[in-house]
């Protein structure tokens, strides 16, 4: 099995009481004076909430920023697709919210596998995010009195979620994009769109630049800077089908892992309970139905197996099932939180009912999300005002009208809590290399609460990194700009071109997508919602086989030094294969259930996740050991000083 | 229940911005009517790559109608024949068995073709960079509830802000005008007190940039509104014109 080392991992958490740590840090950190900022270059890779907010804020401070993204415009980063909302501890509803409660809910929601100090800081800066966005002109939903409206999300008993219709991510990203555009106009940020980072360049152990491929010309280019920030999003697409955008990938995480950055908690992935079920073989992605729908929608399956069977074969319609014959299983099992239990709990409960034979839809892999009560109670127009665009989206895809018949939903992979390991300053284990947003592992432990990813991305980019990176750059003010002719750049570029040549030369028989689908099926069956030792071991052997097939039989048409969408996909799939392996390996080592990680061997009598705090209260940090070598497992111990660690209970 | 159809495709292929393009025809069987339009193109590309050919290049990402990356002129309509949706949300149940479907890129002076169906829309970013923002820095901002905003205004701003920057309005317009896109951003910000401060200046600089980039004049044909997947209203153009006049007046 994995080699484990006991090297101490230092997260650089400031001293002092929980509520004082961030203030203490800011009071004592080093800063860069305005004249010196102009002489310092920072590369920011990614223009999602995390990348765009960081690039804009660094530009405003006076740094010289180079900002990269894959899409044709920064505004199209995957963050644009977030629907439901963003959390903040404003307590505008006077319902008992506070920074501490947001912190506590996040720690508990993460099943006690996140760092206290980071999460507290996140809750602390959450309020400034809302202020910032409103000032940018983000049109959040408002009440008739003119003040901001809130809704509830899973895992919380207060209403702290701010939203802009069902398009919160879009509006927040357009806000960050507007701030970024302003800096582009001022000349402090230079944009590189349709560029894909393919490696980081290290000089004397520090991150000093990147190698990127111009996706239009296919040419490989070099970029130098004093520090590199990556905010490239999550790796959920390792599963092929997910709620992520088609271009979302984990490649930068793998590139920097291979250069020495630790990959933390890879097995912590979130399966979202409310997605539109799979329809057929040619399906390319899964569409999320926002969690906010669980505010008013009730989840059920038939109580009787005969009814479920009749529905599957088209003999009965859901509206024909009498109220008494419906099993509102979340309300039954979790009376305190009901339909608003956290995502991992809701997903597993849906799988349990479907596996037991109560599933609906033609495949039996679906449950109902029913709005009939809400429509009766609130009226159709109120429901339409709250969820209209989501209902429309559903109808266009499924060709069913959710105002008249319940929606069908099923869990799908959605978010990755694991990611690049970072310390309190968001610095990776490589000096001068920072990681923000979904790409890092920092704040959500083993399970992320709804509406907290947007909060984290913007917290990292607007309010954390612009401070912490100065603590590093303050020591770099005498470092002149680097030439990209240095041997380190030449070497890194050569490695990248060699890899592309190797891929182009295979000229095998299988398409990139067909291999990606194979990987996805293995991931879903064995590294998905229910995991066990035998299955994970099988996954490891199967992934190795697919990897071999990939590197010997993939076919990529066209040229390497030209626009080539198949090559783009192939480079990403090669990295998903590495991630799949890491996820399975990490899941195998973590012999407990926590949050989104459910090991079937470790559950309570009632089928709930069973943690083993004595043995597993740590962050697993994987260190690359070389091609075809088993990576080393390092552990960052988690110390809960300010919260009492408990078994989660949503009953 | 799942149904499948056979279709003929007439697709525009072009190597680069300067190259000469042409239609090529393809045939596809067993297309599920539950598939999305882009999944149908994926099928075609799998078939092409499977026989050693280069795939048809087209832009796409979120595949749920929000990123604005997908485009395509399908049977004479930007984003295809269905109403209020983007190409990625279009489903094959909208087409008949045996039908010929014609697919072209956005064709407009402002959006040069990169390859096949992929076009360059960076001009939209340049227009936003010219003034599509509120000029504030990060931090030091008053409380979010300090200024109440009427729900009606906020909702109206939200409607304008729903623009996904896809460019269908430009592609639909015989003049190649970007007025609907520009007016959506100008309106969103002009409707909110935070954006009102710079409203006139913003309108002026965004319109100037639009003209500079070679987009055509608006002659109120209304084609943009009819084809916009997000229902952006042409009344926004009237608001833009008011802000623009106000700016002239201030000069
Ligand atoms: C459908 C959906 C709905 C969601 N709803 C919510 C919600 O309501 N509330 C919530 O809090 N969270 C939600 N989430 C989660 C949240 O949207 C994401 O976690 C978050 O937006 C990630 O932001 P990011 O900035 O880290 O990365 P992203 O937005 O994914 O941005 C990644 C950026 O990196 C760039 N990039 C990637 N690789 C490279 C490379 N190699 N080279 C150059 N550039 C690269 C991309 O071009 C892009 O600009 C949702 C997620 C999904 C999928
Ligand atoms: S106004 Fe409509 S058509 Fe034009 S870019 Fe915006 S969403 Fe697309
Ligand atoms: S692919 Fe995002 S809008 Fe169509």
CATH class of the A272-413 domain in this structure = alpha beta
Length of chain A: 651
The interface predicted TM-score (ipTM) is: 0.98
**Residue A5: pLDDT band with limits 50, 70, 90:** low
Do the Cβ atoms of B246 and B199 come closer than 8 Å? yes
Task: Return the CATH architecture of domain B4-114.
Answer: Roll (3.10)
- Residue A170 to residue B145, Cβ atoms within 8 A: no
Distances (CA, A) of A643 to A106, A116, A631, A638: 12, 8, 33, 12
Mean pLDDT, rounded, for B154-172? 98
A614: Cβ contacts below 8 Å, ≥ 6 apart: none
> What digits encode the pLDDT tens for the residues A355-401?
999 999 988 999 999 999 999 999 999 999 888 888 988 998 999 99
The strand pair at A263-264 and B100-104 is best described as unpaired
Task: Measure in Å the smallest separation between the Cα of A85 and chain B Cα atoms.
Answer: 14
Listed by start position, the domains of chain A span 272-413, 487-612
Say yes or no to pLDDT of A184 above 90: yes
Contact of A209 with A238, CB cutoff 8 Å: no
- CA distances to A335, A457, B37 from A332, rounded to whole Å, are 6, 35, 41
Which residues are A44's β-sheet partners?
A: A67, A229
> pLDDT per residue over A295-346, tens digit each?
899 999 999 999 999 999 999 999 999 999 999 999 999 999 899 888 888 9
Distance CA A352, CA A312 (A): 17
User: What is the mean predicted confidence (pLDDT) over B36-50?
Assistant: 97
Contact indicator for A353, A327 with CB cutoff of 8 Å:
yes
Annotated catalytic, A499? Answer: no
Q: Decide if B157 contacts B232 (C-beta within 8 A).
A: no
Q: What is the rounded distance in angstroms from the CA atom of residue A384 to the CA atom of residue A402?
A: 11
What DSSP state is assigned to residue A421?
-
CA torsion angle A119 A123 A128 A134 (round to 10): 110
Which pLDDT score is estimated for A387?
86
A487-612 has CATH 3.40.50.300 classification:
no
Chain B residues 103-122 with CB within 8 Å of chain A: 114-115, 120-122
Domain with CATH 1.10.1060.10 in chain B: 121-250
Report pLDDT for B130. 98
Domain B121-250: assigned CATH number: 1.10.1060.10
Mutation probe of ligand 3 site: the residue of B37, B63, B84, B106 with most atoms within 8 A of C-beta: B63
Q: Give residue B244's pLDDT.
A: 87
Taking Cα atoms as reference points, which of A140, A103, A104 lies closest to residue A123?
Answer: A103
Provide the whole-model pTM. 0.97
Residue B2 has pLDDT above 80, yes or no: no
| pLDDT tens digits for range A76-90 | 999 999 988 999 999
For A571-635, the DSSP string reads HHHHHHHHHHHHHHHHHHH--S-BTTB-BTTSB-TTS-B---HHHH-EEEEEE---TTSPPEEEE
Q: Which residue of the set A343, A348, A590, A599 is catalytic? A: A343
What was the pLDDT predicted at A3?
A: 63
Q: Is the distance from CB of A239 to CB of A226 less than 8 angstroms?
A: no
Q: Judge contact between A166 and A290, C-beta under 8 A.
A: yes
Phi, psi (degrees; rounded to nearest 5) at B35: -75, 155
Which chain B positions have a beta carbon within 8 Å of A140's beta carbon?
144, 154
What number does the ligand 2 atom closest to the CA of B78 have?
Answer: 3
Domain with CATH 3.10.20.30 in chain B: 4-114
Cross-chain residue pair B144–A148, CB shorter than 8 Å: yes
Residue B68 Cβ < 6 Å to ligand 3 = yes
A570 near A557, Cβ under 8 Å? no
């Amino acid at each position: 099995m994995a080699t484990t080392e006991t090297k101490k991992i230092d997260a650089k958490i400031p001293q002092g009481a929980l509520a004082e740590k961030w203030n203490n840090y800011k009071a004592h950190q080093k800063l860069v004076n305005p004249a010196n900022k102009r002489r310092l270059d920072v590369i920011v890779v990614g223009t999602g909430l995390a990348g765009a907010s960081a690039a804009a804020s660094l530009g405003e401070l006076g740094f010289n920023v180079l900002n990269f993204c894959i899409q044709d415009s920064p505004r199209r980063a995957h963050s644009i697709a977030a629907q439901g909302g963003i959390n903040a501890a404003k307590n505008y509803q006077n319902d008992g919210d506070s920074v501490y409660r947001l912190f506590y809910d996040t720690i508990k929601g993460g099943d006690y596998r996140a760092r206290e100090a980071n999460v507290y800081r996140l809750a602390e800066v959450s309020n400034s995010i809302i202020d910032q966005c409103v000032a940018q002109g983000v049109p959040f939903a408002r009440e008739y009195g003119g003040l901001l409206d809130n809704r509830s999300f899973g895992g919380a008993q207060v209403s702290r979620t701010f939203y802009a219709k069902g398009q919160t991510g879009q509006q927040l990203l357009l806000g960050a994009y507007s701030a970024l555009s302003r800096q582009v106009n001022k000349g402090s940020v230079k944009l590189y769109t349709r560029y894909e980072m393919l490696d980081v360049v290290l000089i004397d152990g520090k991150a000093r630049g990147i190698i990127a491929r111009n996706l239009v010309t296919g040419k490989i280019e070099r970029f130098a800077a004093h520090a590199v920030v990556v905010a490239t999003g999550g790796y959920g697409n390792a599963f092929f089908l997910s709620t992520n955008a088609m271009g979302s990938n984990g490649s930068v995480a793998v590139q920097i892992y291979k250069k020495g950055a630790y990959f933390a908690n890879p097995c912590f992935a979130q399966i979202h309970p409310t997605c539109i079920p799979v329809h057929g073989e040619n399906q390319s992605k899964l569409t999320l139905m926002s969690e906010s729908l669980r505010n008013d929608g009730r989840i059920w399956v038939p109580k009787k197996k005969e009814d479920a069977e009749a529905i599957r074969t088209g003999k009965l319609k859901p509206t024909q099932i009498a109220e008494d014959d419906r099993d509102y299983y979340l309300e039954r099992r979790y009376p305190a939180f009901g339909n608003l239990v956290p995502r991992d709990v809701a997903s597993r409960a849906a799988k349990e009912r479907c596996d037991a034979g109560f599933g609906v839809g033609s495949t039996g892999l679906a449950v109902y999300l029913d709005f009939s009560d809400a429509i009766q109670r609130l009226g159709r127009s109120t429901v339409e005002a709250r969820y209209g665009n989501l209902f429309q989206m559903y109808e266009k895809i499924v060709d069913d009208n959710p105002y008249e018949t319940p929606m069908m939903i099923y869990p799908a992979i959605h978010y990755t809590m694991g990611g690049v390991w970072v310390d309190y300053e968001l610095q990776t284990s490589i000096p001068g290399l920072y990681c923000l947003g979904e790409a890092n592992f920092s704040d959500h432990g083993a399970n992320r609460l709804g509406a907290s990813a947007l909060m984290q991305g913007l917290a990292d980019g607007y309010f954390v990194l612009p401070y912490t990176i100065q603590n590093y750059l303050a020591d770099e003010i005498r470092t002149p700009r680097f030439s990209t002719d240095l041997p380190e750049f030449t070497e890194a570029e050569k490695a990248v071109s060699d890899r592309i040549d190797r891929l182009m030369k295979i000229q095998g028989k299988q398409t990139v997508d067909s291999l990606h689908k194979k990987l996805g099926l293995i991931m879903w069956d064995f590294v998905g919602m229910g995991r066990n030792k035998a299955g994970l071991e099988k996954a490891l052997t199967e992934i190795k086989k697919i990897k071999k097939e990939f590197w010997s039989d993939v076919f990529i048409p066209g040229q390497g030094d030209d626009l080539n969408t198949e090559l783009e996909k192939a480079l990403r799939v090669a990295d998903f294969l590495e991630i799949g392996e890491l996820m399975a390996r990490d899941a195998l080592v973590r012999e407990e259930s926590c949050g989104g990680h459910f090991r079937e061997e470790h559950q309570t009598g009632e089928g709930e996740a069973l943690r083993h705090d004595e043995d597993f209260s740590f962050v697993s940090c994987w260190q690359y050991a070389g091609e075809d070598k088993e990576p080393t497992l390092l552990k960052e111990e988690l110390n809960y000083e300010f919260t009492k660690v408990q078994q989660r209970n949503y009953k | 229940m799942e149904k499948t159809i056979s279709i003929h495709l007439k697709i525009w292929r072009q190597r680069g911005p300067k190259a000469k393009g042409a239609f090529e025809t393809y045939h596809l069987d067993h297309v599920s009517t539950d598939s999305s339009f882009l999944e149908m193109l994926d099928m075609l590309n799998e078939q092409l790559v499977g026989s050693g050919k280069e795939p048809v290049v087209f832009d796409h990402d979120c595949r749920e109608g929000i990123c604005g990356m997908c485009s395509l002129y399908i049977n004479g309509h930007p984003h295809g024949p269905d109403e209020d949706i983007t190409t990625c949300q279009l489903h094959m149940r909208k087409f008949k068995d045996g039908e010929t479907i014609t697919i072209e890129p956005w064709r407009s002076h402002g959006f040069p073709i990169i390859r096949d169906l992929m076009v360059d829309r960076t001009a939209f970013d340049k227009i936003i960079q010219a003034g599509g923002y509120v000029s504030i820095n990060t931090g030091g901002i008053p409380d979010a509830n300090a200024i109440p905003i009427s729900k009606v205004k906020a909702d109206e701003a939200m409607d304008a802000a729903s623009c996904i920057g896809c460019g269908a309005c430009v592609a639909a317009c015989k003049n190649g005008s970007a007025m609907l896109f520009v007016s959506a951003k100008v309106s969103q910000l002009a409707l909110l007190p935070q954006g009102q401060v710079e409203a006139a200046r913003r309108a002026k600089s965004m319109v100037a940039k639009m003209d500079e980039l070679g987009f055509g004049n608006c002659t109120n044909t209304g084609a943009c509104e009819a084809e916009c997947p997000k229902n952006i209203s042409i009344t926004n153009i009237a608001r833009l014109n008011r802000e623009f006049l106000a700016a002239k007046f201030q000069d």
